[in-house]
Structure 1
Amino acid sequence: MITRVDDYLHAVPLSGADAEQVGPFTLFRSTTIWPYYARPVPGSGVTIEPSDVELVRKRCAELEIPLSFEWVVETCPSLGPAAAAAGLEVVQHPLLVLERADCRPVVADARCEVLSADEAVVRQARAVVNLAFGESGTAVGNAGPAERDTAAAQLSDEMVATLRDRVGRGVSVGAGAFTEDGLVAAGTHQPVGSATEIVGVGTLPALRRRGLAAAVTSTLVEHALDNGVDLVLLSAESDAVAAVYERVGFHRIGHTGAAE
């Protein structure tokens, strides 16, 4: 299972990046408006050394792109210590998966549905998620519908065009929860073959603790399972956030690592 997850995570950046081999890593050079990262080649079994990290640092400097790494800790346990020794900040997050038999639909007091590529919808969904991650965690916060509308209007046209293009190409599928306040929670899944990853699920901070994130996640899972996917994965920000996903049927299989 974890090998399959690692293979998926190595394939999914290719919808927005070109791959280049740098030592024991694949460096994903972005072809879109956000940066990507380097990953250890799945199945290589190599022990990463600080000197390997320095190879990527040098190449990123040549390309004038940010230096960052992502990986599955259990398949490459040496990368975290090597990255830390090379002076990078290293974090780990719970890695969870869900298979069809484990799916437990969650319903909230909201209308949940797959989102279109309509510009206004894309703007609001992105604004919701940005505000959610701007006030991280699961506690009720400050940003609400008014802040969402302001943030949506301020999104760049380039960002919105990129998001709409990804929806149109089928590499990104969004879902949202709607109440009397409009779109208040949103998230995305990114299918590659028969696997997909749920990313960027967030609720307007002022409207947390209503089960909206779990309901959006459930909608994304149901869409994925109805469209040829049999393995759904995600990386949670924290144990508290992981508990939200466990309500839908996810279970932990390891950790993802990130360094920058």
Structure 2
Amino acid sequence: MDIHVLGVGESADPALPNSSVIVSADGFRLMIDCGHSVPPVLWRELPDPDAVDALCFTHHHPDHCFGLVPALIRWTDDRRSKPLGIVTTADGRRQLGQLFQAGGIDPERSLSFPLQWSETPAEGEVGPFRIRTAPTLHAIPNLAIRLEAGGKSFAYSGDGRATEESEALFRGADLLFHECLTVEPDRSQPFHAAYTQLSGLPDRLAIRAMRLYHVRRDLRRELAAACAADPRIALAIPGERIAL
């Protein structure tokens, strides 16, 4: 399993693209989230319009889904031919339908390739991956994701604070990417995780390694210093490639 980090930034970061990764196994590429600032880095990193096989959304805030329409337009301009899987909730599909309308896109007529929709499962399969999901505590419904292939496991929190369900999902993961907006809990941000809430997860849940993303743009240096206390925890880096 290979993890290709496209973006790690929070919603309004002027320097870093929104959080997004591509997870690959057996020649299949699954992209998780596509926020408003992700498409330019996606096009640079993977210029082949057929490179991505499927897109999975954790939730539908702008920094996690507003890049979909530009990506689809570019792939059509570049003559993508193979179908694109889209994995999302029923409510998420309705929201994306509104996004298509706002962007002037008719998926049945405007694209050079078909979209293949599937509802995010509590447990199921996407390409070569076994996928499981669990809710986190966020301002809107968000599903954390666990992917397993080739005896390896990768978990991705999406946004929000950990819940009993998401912690059970993360248990024993080879690598966990978790949203971490601040170092200490912030009462003004009740739906985002803090480092002090997450730092014990590797020991408590037997997680081998953890990367933190969606860090508040003025706290990256402070959070990096906090991570230095545990070699298993680090900030996620745009462009990073991690082989499991």
Q: TM-score range by the shorter chain?
A: 0.3 to 0.5
Q: Larger C-alpha radius of gyration, 1 or 2?
A: 1
**Given the two structures, how large is their TM-score scaled by the length of structure 1?**
0.31
**Given the two structures, how large is their TM-score scaled by the length of structure 2?**
0.33
1 or 2, which has the higher helix percentage? 1
Bigger relative CO (Cα 8 Å, ≥ 6 apart): 1
